[in-house]
A and B are shown apart, each in its own frame.
Chain A
Amino acid sequence: MSDFPWLTALIVVPLVGALVTAVVPEPRRETALPKQVALGFSLVTAVLGIVIATQFHAGDGMQLTETHTWIEAFGVHYALGVDGLGLLMILLTVGLVPVVFLASWHEADGRNPAAFFAWALALQGFALCVFAATDVFLFYVVFEATLIPAYFLIGGFGREGRGFAALKFLMYQLGGGLVLLAAVIGLYVVSADAGTPSYLLSDLQQLDMSTAWERWLFVGFMIAFIVKAPLFPLHTWLADTTEKATPGTSVLLVCILDKIGTFGMLRFCLGIFPNASQWATPVVITLALISIVYGAFLAIGQDDILRLIGLTSLSHFGFITLGIFALTSQGGSGSILYMVNHGVGTAALFLLAGYLIKRKGTSLISEITGMEKRTPVLAGLFLVAGLATLGLPGLSQFVSEILVMIAAFDYHWWVGAVAVTGIVLAAVYVLWLYQRTMTGPSVPGDEGILDLGRRELVAVVPLLAALVVFGFFPQPMLDAVNPTVDSLLQHVGVSDDPPTVPAAEEGAH
């Protein structure tokens, strides 16, 4: 069993699913058939993900590895493998896609639904490959390849003005991607200078490069990941995209695709350029702090629900990056956990907001009020998801937020202090949003609005359940993640002893 290429299967199944969904013959295009096919494939993928999780042994480093030479001239391999970080991301991906499918069942009706589901499956396939890739070139290829399905999802489905939003999204992403390309090429040159060129992560980690090279390449990688994640100042595509795209697409983008950015920081920036990572810590942490506060303020000022949720993510990604570049084990584990929890929590928020918008026909907060009365279930779930987002104890986000905060205070007290304001602001935007939309007198004209249907409930309940479960039992995730973080930090050269290390770092001065 262990020789079976599980990871390849995991990647291939959704891609095949995308093809099958796309070629459903014309007369049955508009029926539910393509959707059912797509959902079936996404469930199979989820099962595969669970199988992989059962085979995973925490602490054994890279597992289920597959390595084949792909392009010999470039030293490129088709190399896959999972560690704790990769596993969590994979599980997040396989879990969210069926949920999105269910929630978006009628989202694309009348606009070629088969295409929506096919592109989403393709996106999933590429994203899974990104999380499993252990070859930088392979990573780069699928990293860029995800943009095409994402572009068509944004541009093809959603609200007026989506074409421009899609273009903006793509230009930002490709711009970042091309900077990354330069860095990847530079990596090849360095690797070739040192002997035989190779792109395997394991080879690159051994690479001995000059400080100047390392820093330049680090900057190249980091810019791409900052665009992806997004962090201030390269975040401006985010709000436009989430506003114009369908909520389902936004979930795929913000909860899965953007994680590639922070995933990449952990895996590649820290993994290949340890010294440069330490060198850049002050700048990156500053950017993260700005993102946290700025994102929160922007969110408070929004009048569009989807824009608001999109901008909260800016703040959250600031937290994640802060955790990563604090370079402590709490920070690392916390941020990985944060990635998962943010994925689940924000997905729930997006989908619930989508339901709300569908019912009201508008996404403007100022035009929605008093929904509690008409749709109590929707309002209740929205509150839970919102509370998770602001980090209420007992819900999953709390655990990760605490870990990141510890790391931040360890790094320097003022970093922690600034980060705390982010949490306070989060409470403001979440609760104020709830207050404005849900409470208050119900408006005439809302009489016909029904509460959540069965399909809609089935889609979001697992997410909320996960929020609660992970809030109380984060241990399994921590177990999976800790060894990965430890080995990474060891590689970076921060022999981890949380209370003392940060003080010894140069960033503290």
Chain B
Amino acid sequence: MDAVFTKPTIEYADIWPLVLVFAVACIGVVIEAFVPRERRFIVQTVLAGAGLVAALVGTVVVARDLTVHADGAARGAIDVEGTIAVDGPAVFFWGLILIVALGGVLLFAERRLEGGVSAFAGQAAALPGTEAERQASKIGLEHTEIYPLLMFAVFGMMLFPTANDLLTLFVALEVLSLPLYLLCGLARRRRLLSQEAALKYFLLGAFSSGFFLYGVALTYGFAGSMQYADINEAVRNDLSNQSLLLIGIGMLTVGLLFKVGAAPFHSWTPDVYQGAPTPVTAFMAAGTKIAAFGAILRLFYVAFGSERWTWQPMLWVVAILTMVVGAVLAVVQTDMKRMLAYSSIAHTGFLLTGVLGVQQASDLSDGEVTSMQAVLFYLTTYGFAMLGAFAVVTLVRDSSGEATTFARWQGLGRRSPLVAGLFAFFLLSMAGIPLTAGFVGKWAVFTVALSAGAWPVVIAAILCSIIAVFFYVRVIVLMFFVEGLPDGEVASVTRPSLLTSATIAVGLAATVVLGVVPGPVLTLAGHAGQFLR
């Protein structure tokens, strides 16, 4: 039997934003090789920014052209031999990731805070505290490789929620992770901490991808195929070998939950968020979570949709545990970045609350919020708030760089009311105070969970919200109502360039607008519809 090779069809019209980001990343690497050092910074930033904007425009164009399917619930197409699903939710995730990435590029390119250099190590290979390092920073060296690395990560993030088979999913997971491992270790200040964060992130990340992969193997063993649609088919029809499937689902979940930082797989989050350069933390906290939730949603809804009754209880437990761990441990933190990290863990729990609210379309009444809509909206609000909050953290500095311990933030409200006010606003949004985006997001995920009958989770979520409010408000008290220490012992606000200001402004605007008139974005999220099976 001579197999005739048939040329694969690749629908470039649908996936070109994805390809564009990839191409920009590759061009960035080439630029490293050929453009003189003094011009690299400007070329790389402009290229990365322009590439992302173009991809964003492309995403909009693609989104408008998606074919509507017969039942009207889903739009889009499954492309590239069934490995990539470009549907409504997928393009929504693309757009969100690209916006966050744009914010990331702006923060990466900020050079005013460090007095003319970026927040990244001048020469990562130079040992900390050596003459070589001092020399490198003296002549203002900086790694412009961070932009291609960022773009590769963005590419992975975009591919992650789009992947329609387990193999592509695994590759995307690695593509998004590897650049982030590297970026984490490149801080200019506190390099030991940064390298250590990279090591921890890497080791635990590799560990979790081991689990993920074993899950892939077992699921493949159960279904005999990597494609989501085939898996769904097998799950629906095949009643033998349930244990194979269950173990497979469990292992896959471990890998994915690790990426979103859900308890009990959260232990890397605070360390990595604290050690990584703050621009990376901002980008990673928002981007990874968005991408990973996209993947979780697609995997669970499309591939394991028929097994809802087995994985939903598991997610119940994980969601409750995550919220409790995040909220309770955040209370005892004394470092701003760690506190935000634990808060992001708590947010993961809230998001999971939304994920487990999935119901059959027939169970929902007209115009009722769907689980997908709720999670998409929550991710939007969360992404902007995280980006904004970490951007503010980069501004508060003392002589040794960013000052992230609580003690140094004392009385910031009196010295810099604007910055402290902005930070307070982001915190209030994360706490879910009405008229901020966070509130609407929380409302949406709680609603879908309650509709699906997960009232114990909702009650736990409410209790955790109360705890969460406490630690957010504590920071506000610290900034506004605690008398500051003498000037030398507290941090002050450094005036940023337009880049960081723009990021904060966008984050703020989004948080306000989504809080006051969430309608359009909710509608957009609703319009994204369901996953294409």
Identify which of residues 153-176 in chain A touch chain B, using a CB-to-CB cut-off of 8 Å: 155-156, 162-163, 166-167, 170-171, 174-175
A73 near B523 with CB under 8 A, answer yes
Closest CB of chain B to A461's CB: distance in Å?
34
A72 near B465 with CB under 8 A, answer no
By a CB distance below 8 angstroms, the chain B residues around A152 are 480
- With contact pairs A141-B434, A145-B434 given, residues A75 and B367 touching in the complex (Cβ less than 8 Å): yes
Of A6-14, A82-90, A183-191, which stretch is located at the interface? A183-191
Chain B, Cβ-Cβ closest to A174: B469
A171 near B434 with CB under 8 A, answer no
Chain B, Cβ-Cβ closest to A179: B462
Identify which of residues 386-432 in chain A touch chain B, using a CB-to-CB cut-off of 8 Å: none
Q: How far is the CA of A181 from the CA of B465 in the complex (A)?
A: 11
B522 near A71 with CB under 8 A, answer yes
By a CB distance below 8 angstroms, the chain A residues around B450 are 182, 185-186, 189
Chain A, Cβ-Cβ closest to B431: A174
The verdict on A32 contacting chain B, using a C-beta distance below 8 Å, is no
Q: How far is the CA of A152 from the CA of B442 in the complex (A)?
A: 24
By a CB distance below 8 angstroms, the chain B residues around A500 are none
Main SS of chain A's interface residues? helix
By a CB distance below 8 angstroms, the chain A residues around B513 are none
By a CB distance below 8 angstroms, the chain B residues around A71 are 440, 517-519, 522
By a CB distance below 8 angstroms, the chain A residues around B373 are 73
Identify which of residues 182-217 in chain A touch chain B, using a CB-to-CB cut-off of 8 Å: 182, 184-186, 188-189, 192-197
Chain B, residues 417-456, CB within 8 Å of chain A (1/0): the string is: 0000000000010010111000110111011001100000
The residue from B435, B465, B473, B518 contacting A170, defined by CB atoms under 8 A apart:
B473
The verdict on B207 contacting chain A, using a C-beta distance below 8 Å, is no
By a CB distance below 8 angstroms, the chain A residues around B523 are 72-73
Q: How far is the CA of A69 from the CA of B474 in the complex (A)?
A: 36
- Compute the total of residue contacts between A and B using a CB distance below 8 Å: 110
By a CB distance below 8 angstroms, the chain A residues around B446 are 181-182, 185
B480 near A185 with CB under 8 A, answer no
A192 near B477 with CB under 8 A, answer no
A192 near B365 with CB under 8 A, answer yes
Interface residues of A toward B: which range?
A: 35 or more
B481 near A155 with CB under 8 A, answer yes
The verdict on B466 contacting chain A, using a C-beta distance below 8 Å, is yes
By a CB distance below 8 angstroms, the chain B residues around A189 are 447, 450-451
- With contact pairs A71-B518, A73-B519, A152-B480 given, residues A197 and B367 touching in the complex (Cβ less than 8 Å): yes
Chain B, residues 475-491, CB within 8 Å of chain A (1/0): the string is: 00100111000000000
The verdict on B238 contacting chain A, using a C-beta distance below 8 Å, is no
Chain A, Cβ-Cβ closest to B453: A189
By a CB distance below 8 angstroms, the chain A residues around B526 are 73
Identify which of residues 50-80 in chain B touch chain A, using a CB-to-CB cut-off of 8 Å: none
By a CB distance below 8 angstroms, the chain B residues around A72 are 367, 519, 522-523
Q: How far is the CA of A70 from the CA of B517 in the complex (A)?
A: 7
The verdict on B2 contacting chain A, using a C-beta distance below 8 Å, is no
A163 near B462 with CB under 8 A, answer no
A192 near B469 with CB under 8 A, answer no
Closest CB of chain A to B162's CB: distance in Å?
25
Q: How far is the CA of A140 from the CA of B446 in the complex (A)?
A: 15
A155 near B462 with CB under 8 A, answer no
Q: How far is the CA of A1 from the CA of B128 in the complex (A)?
A: 74
B366 near A195 with CB under 8 A, answer yes
The verdict on A19 contacting chain B, using a C-beta distance below 8 Å, is no
A163 near B481 with CB under 8 A, answer yes
The residue from A69, A75, A145, A155 contacting B480, defined by CB atoms under 8 A apart:
A155
Closest CB of chain B to A326's CB: distance in Å?
31
By a CB distance below 8 angstroms, the chain A residues around B368 are 192, 197
Identify which of residues 290-348 in chain A touch chain B, using a CB-to-CB cut-off of 8 Å: none
A182 near B481 with CB under 8 A, answer no
By a CB distance below 8 angstroms, the chain B residues around A171 are 466, 469-470, 473
Chain B, Cβ-Cβ closest to A155: B481
B466 near A174 with CB under 8 A, answer yes
A74 near B443 with CB under 8 A, answer yes
- With contact pairs A73-B367, A178-B465, A196-B365 given, residues A144 and B433 touching in the complex (Cβ less than 8 Å): yes
B433 near A147 with CB under 8 A, answer yes
Closest CB of chain B to A71's CB: distance in Å?
5
Q: How far is the CA of A151 from the CA of B413 in the complex (A)?
A: 15
Chain B, Cβ-Cβ closest to A142: B434
A181 near B462 with CB under 8 A, answer yes
The verdict on B369 contacting chain A, using a C-beta distance below 8 Å, is yes
The verdict on A24 contacting chain B, using a C-beta distance below 8 Å, is no
The verdict on A148 contacting chain B, using a C-beta distance below 8 Å, is yes
Interface residues, chain B, CB within 8 Å of chain A? Answer: 364-369, 373, 428, 431, 433-435, 439-440, 442-444, 446-447, 450-451, 458-459, 462, 465-466, 469-470, 473-474, 477, 480-482, 517-519, 522-523, 526
- Nearest first, the 4 closest Cβ-Cβ pairs linking A and B are A141-B434, A163-B481, A144-B434, A73-B522
Given A174-B431, A179-B462, A192-B368, 11 additional A-B pairs, CB 8 A:
A73-B523, A74-B522, A75-B367, A143-B434, A167-B470, A174-B466, A178-B462, A178-B466, A185-B446, A189-B447, A193-B365
Between A and B, 7 residue pairs with Cβ closer than 8 Å are: A73-B369, A155-B481, A167-B473, A167-B474, A174-B469, A175-B469, A196-B367
